[in-house]
Amino acid sequence: MKVSTLLRVTGALAVSALALAAAEPAAAQAKKIKIGFVTTLSGPNAAYGVDMRNSFELALEHLGRKMGGIPVEVIYEDDEQKPEVGKQKTDKLMQRDRVDIVAGYIWSNVLLASYKSVVDNNTFLISANAGPSQLAGEQCHKNFFAASWANEQNPMGVGHLLNQKNVQKLYIVAPNYAAGQDMANGVKATFKGQVVGQDMTRWPDQLDFSAEISKIRAAKPDAVYVFFPGRAGVQFLTQYTQANLKKEIPLYSVFTIDGVTLKLQKDQALDTFFGLFWAPDLPYAANTKFVTDYKKKHKDTPTFYGAQSYDVANLINSAVVATKGDLKNKDAFRAALEAAKFESVRGPMKFNKNHFPIHAIYQQEVYKVSDSEYDIRTISKIIDNLEDPSAPKCKM
Amino acid sequence: MTLLLVEQFLNGLQIGLLLFLLAAGLTLVFGIMDLVNLAHGSLYMMGAFFAAVLTEWTGSFLAGALLALPATALLGIVTEVIALRNLYTRDHLDHVLATFGLILFFNELARVLFGVGGMAIPLPDSLLTHFEILPGLPYPTYRFLIILVGLLCAGFLYVLVQRTRLGMLIRAGATNREMVGALGVDIKLLFTLVFGLGSALAALAGLMAAPITTVQIGMGDNILILALVVIVIGGIGSIRGAFIASLLIGLVDTMGRAFLPNMLGTVLSPADAGTVSEALSSMLIYILMSGVLILRPAGLFPAPGR
């Protein structure tokens, strides 16, 4: 407890150190585009923040570090996976750095704590991962865009997959925070069978899932569906494999297996089922360029977190080009973002009226590239042009 | 249902004993040296990283684990001699500040040495098996091993503290440091030894947890809070208290997670029961702590003389 108190004190000190704001240029065309990027760069999930930063930087390199001829400056901030820290860092970007656009955010609870500081100050926020149902529905905002997905979308794809595989009885396990609730609701929205049990685990500090796994074994479902993003995915999969349940009760998941976790999950991730809107092998020109150049530069495969960040940079670029760098005219800039005139790495996409994407979801699997190397590949398209279910609740 | 109850009881026992390994070292250091060591969680993390690296080198989990213990003890002793020795005369807030700094230092050190990706300790096939504890109740061998190691360690600490000369000095040190020093015992050396022992216990906890929870930067930060709750409930400086409190917390936490949703489900809608039971089960241990503090402000088994 003392640690968190101290962290709070440290955070407060950082925020209170307000500097003088730079004078804003009077001309219509900005002299420099300042983008604030909030992600997780410390703690167990730091690898994802690094992947997002690498991908955003790669996109800028592909653009010559200029958008519409204007130089771009990016300020990366670490949210430590904590909502209160994310809010502080967002406030710092808005008040001290006076950024033109804020982007990033892995965690739905961090985004929900932070977004108001941005959108209520007439500034655009573009999520590079989190897509909470609140922001897709009742609390949708004209200045908020998700370049990633709505939380329910990928689980809805998995729900269809479960139906295709003729699963009748399903057990659901997900962490108890904003995204965990959405991911559980998403699969229930399309799954036609019976949900025989559901556990919401403590987030983010529960690392031992023995109690939940014992309950799964006792409930004898046809399949289990989980959402454990980041490091938690390794922990759950390790323990599920150790419990020797994978053959008996097939494992379906979203955002639980990715390029980073796969380095530790290895064989444990084989023969599991999952669905996602993007994979490194999707055959689109923008995707091939992104994945090839990322591999060349970082000797590593990018994750979906990176792919989404790459898309965010190109989405912003498309709007800057369309408005000829006039960042002051918010209405024109918003219209340009809504048009989504850029080559997304996921292939065809367009924005719904709530500023969340409409796109396809694919079934994917893990395969062995060599003895020690694993990768993710696409099996088939589960569903095309999927809209999220919260969109009708958005009054915009 | 009975089988599930037994299985969940074992799960709770296993979590509790893992927590005991961590809390035992913390309560020793806190009780005997009067040092608030927030960096105990960092030693837990470093122990796990050492075990992961050494397991990779030697190709054997057992060898990696056995080597990681003295390695972490040595790291603890070096830390004590360089950084902590000068703090004993200062007040607790200085301890908190300095050891919080050590947390940041060790997290950064782990990032430099081992990378941001973390590591996994794959178990040998012999430990990936199951055996039937009761007919119809298979239990993972490794989780059972954790229970065994935890109990053995508790027994070892009991004998060490209650039946040996070193243990007598440790108990005397916990009760009255100045008097022990005045009687001609090298208290500096005793403290260093105790800190080394505490570090080795932290490492044992870390490396036993690692095959289940993987090794990652900052893995000790959250569990340290639980360990602090344990020593508050058990009484500062008391190994016996730490043992009882760890088991209490492990069982209360697991049973809460396992059975609250169904129990609440009989009176609430499934969605509400899920939300309420999750919130309630994560509060249970703190409710337990408050209850103990109201009845026994010094904890269940306070060391005498405090």
Q: What's the pTM?
A: 0.89
Percent of chain A having pLDDT more than 90? 86
Q: Give SS3 for A125.
A: strand
Query: pLDDT for B78-113, tens place per residue?
Result: 999 999 999 988 899 999 999 999 999 999 999 999
Contacts of A102 (CB under 8 A, 6+ apart): A35, A36, A37, A38, A90, A93, A94, A118, A123, A124, A125, A126
Is-contact A224 A216, C-beta < 8 A? yes
Query: pLDDT for A77-114, tens place per residue?
Result: 999 999 999 999 999 999 999 999 999 999 999 999 99
pLDDT greater than 80 at residue A336: yes
CA angle A234, B204, B256 (to 5 degrees): 60
Strands (E), B120-257: 130-134, 137-140
Q: Give SS3 for A272.
A: coil
> Partners of A198 in the beta sheet?
A172
pLDDT greater than 60 at residue B142: yes
Give the pLDDT confidence score for residue B279 in this predicted structure: 80
- CB atoms B213 and A207 under 8 Å: yes
Is-contact B35 B87, C-beta < 8 A? yes
Positive or negative CA dihedral for B136, B266, A152, A316?
negative
Residue A248 sits at the chain B interface (C-beta within 8 Å): no
At B305, the pLDDT band (50, 70, 90 cuts) reads low
Give the pLDDT confidence score for residue A18 in this predicted structure: 32
Option in B38, B216, B219 nearest A3 (CB)? B38
Q: Which positions in chain A touch B270 (Cβ < 8 Å)?
A: 198
More confident residue, A233 or B176: A233
User: B38 in a domain, yes or no?
Assistant: yes
Report ipTM (2 d.p.): 0.88
User: B110 in a domain, yes or no?
Assistant: yes
User: B300 in a domain, yes or no?
Assistant: no
CATH topology identical between A26-149+283-355 and A153-276+361-393:
yes
Percent of chain B having pLDDT more than 70? 98
The rounded distance, in Å, linking the Cα atoms of A59 and A277 is 20
pLDDT greater than 50 at residue B56: yes
Helices (H), chain A: 2-16, 46-62, 83-95, 108-119, 133-136, 153-164, 178-190, 210-219, 231-242, 259-265, 285-298, 304-322, 330-339
- CB atoms A260 and B261 under 8 Å: no
Closest CA to A378 of A226, A161, A88: A161
Average pLDDT over residues A319-348: 95
Q: Which positions in chain B touch A238 (Cβ < 8 Å)?
A: 120, 211-214
Place of tokens 């990033």: A104
User: Could you give the number of structural domains in chain B?
Assistant: 1
- CB atoms B11 and A47 under 8 Å: no
**Which residues span the domain enclosing B101?**
2-130+138-295
More confident residue, A16 or A351: A351
Q: Which positions in chain B touch A305 (Cβ < 8 Å)?
A: none
More confident residue, B281 or B205: B205
The rounded distance, in Å, linking the Cα atoms of B23 and B201 is 9
Closest CA to B280 of B259, B294, B301: B259
Q: Does domain A153-276+361-393 have CATH number 3.40.47.10?
A: no
Q: Which positions in chain B touch A200 (Cβ < 8 Å)?
A: 274-275, 278
pLDDT greater than 50 at residue A24: no
- CB atoms B218 and A44 under 8 Å: yes
More confident residue, B33 or A119: A119
Q: Which positions in chain B touch A42 (Cβ < 8 Å)?
A: 107, 217-218
CATH code of the domain containing B183: 1.10.3470
Give the pLDDT confidence score for residue B138 in this predicted structure: 86
Residue A170 sits at the chain B interface (C-beta within 8 Å): no
Is-contact A134 A111, C-beta < 8 A? no
Surface of A (174-203) touching B: CB under 8 A:
176, 198-202
Q: Which of B18, B222, B283 to mutate to test the interface with A (most CBs of A within 10 A)?
A: B222
- CB atoms A3 and B111 under 8 Å: no
Average pLDDT over residues A321-338: 95
Q: Give SS3 for B58.
A: helix
- CB-based burial label for B112 (10 Å; 0-12, 13-18, 19+): exposed
Q: Which positions in chain A touch B38 (Cβ < 8 Å)?
A: 2-3
CA distances from residue B6 to A6, A134, B129, B295 in whole angstroms, order as listed:
41, 41, 19, 30
Give the strand pairing for A273-276 and A357-368: antiparallel
User: B275 in a domain, yes or no?
Assistant: yes
Is-contact A107 A78, C-beta < 8 A? no
Closest CA to B19 of B146, B160, B171, B127: B146
Average pLDDT over residues B166-187: 84
Percent of chain A having pLDDT more than 70? 93
User: B305 in a domain, yes or no?
Assistant: no
- How far apart are the two ends of chain B, measured CA to CA in Å? 45
- CB atoms B15 and A210 under 8 Å: yes
What are the CB-based long-range contacts (under 8 Å, 24+) for A162-167? A162/A187, A162/A191, A162/A193, A162/A223, A162/A225, A162/A252, A163/A190, A163/A191, A163/A192, A163/A193, A164/A382, A165/A223, A165/A250, A165/A273, A167/A191, A167/A193, A167/A222, A167/A223, A167/A252
User: B258 in a domain, yes or no?
Assistant: yes
More confident residue, A38 or B283: A38
Range with the lowest mean pLDDT among A17-21, A205-209, A218-222, B156-160? A17-21
pLDDT greater than 80 at residue A23: no
pLDDT greater than 50 at residue A13: no
CA distance B96 to chain A (A): 8
Is-contact A162 A170, C-beta < 8 A? yes
Is-contact A302 A290, C-beta < 8 A? yes
pLDDT greater than 50 at residue B233: yes
Give domain limits for chain A: 26-149+283-355, 153-276+361-393
Closest CA to A33 of A329, A337, A325, A338: A325
Average pLDDT over residues B239-268: 89
What are the CB-based long-range contacts (under 8 Å, 24+) for B147-151? B147/B10, B147/B13, B147/B14, B147/B17, B149/B17, B149/B21, B149/B204, B149/B208, B150/B14, B150/B16, B150/B17, B150/B18, B150/B20, B150/B21, B151/B17
Task: Calculate the CA B87 to chain-centre distance.
Answer: 23
pLDDT greater than 50 at residue A25: no
Region of A126 (left: φ > 0; alpha: ψ -120 to 50; beta: rest) is beta
User: B301 in a domain, yes or no?
Assistant: no
pLDDT greater than 60 at residue B306: no
Q: Which CATH superfamily is domain A26-149+283-355 in?
A: Response regulator (3.40.50.2300)
User: B237 in a domain, yes or no?
Assistant: yes
Average pLDDT over residues A257-264: 93
Give the pLDDT confidence score for residue A10 in this predicted structure: 42
Mean residue pLDDT of chain B comes to 90
Closest CA to B302 of B132, B174, B111: B174
- CB atoms B96 and A42 under 8 Å: no
